[in-house]
A and B are shown apart, each in its own frame.
Chain A
Amino acid sequence: CSESDLGPISLNWFEELSAEAPS
């Protein structure tokens, strides 16, 4: 799977989404 198909990939997606999501 490549970034052209799936968009920018982040190894820290879980931490980043947790920081952004409403709590």
Chain B
Amino acid sequence: DVAEQPAPAPLDGPTEESLQLVSQLKDCLSSCAVDVSTVWWEAAGSRELCVVTACESSVSLWKPLASDCWGKAHTWQLGEVPVIQLVPLPDTCSLVCIALGELEITEIRLLLCSSEDDSFRQSLVKTGTIEAVLGLKDRRLVSSSRALQEQQVEVVWLSETGGSKDRQTLMPPEETVLAFAEVEGMRDALVGTTAVNSVVVWNLKTGQLLRKMHVGYSYPASVCHRAYSDSGLLFVVLSHPHAKESKSYGNPAFRLVAFNPKTARSMGVMFSSLPPGHAGRQGDVTDTSAAAVLTSGAIAVWDLLLGRCTALLPPGPAGGWALARWATATATACLLAGRRDGTVCLYRY
């Protein structure tokens, strides 16, 4: 039996020691980095792990050069609608997915290089008032969108050429879905978190809404990041961007919660809180590690199974950090830390 653990005090002054700077890249033309990600890219028969940086009006692909340097291979110029975020597509090569919009997402596009004539192209996948989007394994994309009073939750199968091969509608819950997470190891299971603090579970094959389970009002607007099933329980990593500070738990950032899908009962397993004196966070999770940008301009890294803050990257002389993303599809954990001026630092964790 495991009870929810209050987070131990962070290590005695966690520093960047557990983060090793590998390389950094700087987009001289950019002054407005909005997101950063990694993608496997195939060219001339070889496959390389590349970095993707997004500004409001363009997205750039960076290929590895000798001695930990990066060279810009291509920049896609976008239209008038600004880029809001990059949408990683797990297990996918030579395909970049982006979400565009003003305050909310209104377009999802794919960026690619045509195999026919080696020309870099972009294609439109979806338009609408889109609340949440997530790339799934096997070149699938799930999104929730609103039209009038109706909510649509849809899975799109993407083709290698940047089109959509097929679409399936999932049964929507009554409340708005704000985030999705694949259930690892279960190809047909998907979870989502809603605007009224529920975790919902779908069967992706049939489109059925299987269960709605309440998270609790202490954690408003919880966001799911990762989910896996073990021993008949569904474990979900949630972040709590708006949770209130409490005496026993401090300022909660991430929780690992075990749900019994059969009874819809839940139990907190592990709890990670912000370092003392810090507030605000925008987080990203990979495996058992979480990272978040704090309002102080620092980046905090947690071990979610220990519930402990393991590293703190302070804001540098060039200014505070603005982005923290885990690189996808790398053998070892790699953190991408970005500043608004377009500088991206790669840290091995």
B1 touches A17 (CB 8 A): no
| Partner of A13 from B2, B171, B207, B262 at Cβ < 8 Å | B262
B203 touches A9 (CB 8 A): no
- Chain B contact residues: over half helix, strand or loop, or mixed? strand
- Residues 176-228 of B at the A interface (beta carbon under 8 Å): 186, 188-189, 201, 203, 206-211
The smallest C-beta distance from B95 to any residue of chain A, in angstroms, reads 29
Residues on A with C-beta less than 8 A from B244 are none
- The CA of A17 and the CA of B2, in the complex, are separated in Å by 26
- Residues 228-267 of B at the A interface (beta carbon under 8 Å): 229, 231-234, 258-263, 265-267
Taken residue by residue from 1 to 16, chain A's Cβ proximity to chain B (1 for < 8 Å, 0 otherwise) reads as: 1100111111101101
B233 touches A9 (CB 8 A): yes
Decide: A5 near B206, CB < 8 A? Known: A13-B262, A14-B186, A16-B262.
no
The smallest C-beta distance from A22 to any residue of chain B, in angstroms, reads 7
Decide: A21 near B267, CB < 8 A? Known: A8-B262, A11-B231.
no
- The CA of A21 and the CA of B265, in the complex, are separated in Å by 18
A14 touches B189 (CB 8 A): yes
- The CA of A3 and the CA of B109, in the complex, are separated in Å by 45
Decide: A17 near B206, CB < 8 A? Known: A1-B233, A1-B269.
no
Decide: A1 near B206, CB < 8 A? Known: A9-B231, A9-B232, A14-B229.
no
B262 touches A10 (CB 8 A): yes
Chain B residue at smallest Cβ distance from A20: B210
The smallest C-beta distance from A13 to any residue of chain B, in angstroms, reads 4
Residues on A with C-beta less than 8 A from B232 are 9-11, 13
The smallest C-beta distance from A18 to any residue of chain B, in angstroms, reads 5
Residues on A with C-beta less than 8 A from B189 are 14
A22 touches B263 (CB 8 A): no
Chain B residue at smallest Cβ distance from A13: B261
A17 touches B186 (CB 8 A): no
Give B contacts to A, CB under 8 Å: 1-2, 171, 186, 188-189, 201, 203, 206-211, 229, 231-234, 258-263, 265-267, 269
